[in-house]
């Protein structure tokens, strides 16, 4: 892997991790809120 490719590798890995973390946080909050809605049904 060339140095440019390695930089690109790290950039993509980091951005994927950030997006995945955001998706996970979104679903945690969604399930938290859904639990209250379901209890109120």
Partner 1 sequence: MSESPALYLPTDWRDFVSLTKPRVMSLVIFTGLCGLLAAPGYIHPLVGFVAVLCIAMGAGGAAALNQWWEADIDAGMKRTAGRPIPGGRMRRTDARDFGIALSVASVGLMGVAVSWLAAAILAVSIVYYAVVYTIWLKPRTPQNIVIGGGAGAFPPMIGWIAVTHDITLMPVLLFAIIFFWTPPHFWALALFVQTDYAKVGIPMMPVVKGEASTRRQIIAYAVLLLPIAAAPWFIGGTGAVYGAVAMLLSLAFIALSVPVALRRAGPGDAMKPEKRLFAFSVLYLFALFAALVADRAIYGQGVFA
What are the φ and ψ backbone dihedral angles of 9, each rounded to 5 degrees?
A: -55, -50
For residue 41, give the 3-state DSSP assignment. Answer: coil
For residue 35, the minimal CB distance to partner 1 (Å) is 10
Q: Does 8 bind partner 1 (CB under 8 A)?
A: yes
Q: Is 30 in the site for partner 1 (CB under 8 A)?
A: yes
| Pairwise CA distance, residues 19 & 13, whole Å | 10
CB of 17 to partner 1, least distance (A): 9
Contact indicator for 1, 9 with CB cutoff of 8 Å: yes
- Establish if 34 lies at the interface with partner 1 (CB under 8 A): yes
CB of 34 to partner 1, least distance (A): 5
């Amino acid at each position: 892997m060339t140095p440019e490719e390695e930089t690109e590798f790290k950039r993509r890995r980091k951005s994927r991790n950030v997006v995945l973390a955001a998706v996970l946080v979104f679903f945690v909050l969604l399930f938290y809120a859904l639990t209250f809605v379901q209890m109120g049904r």
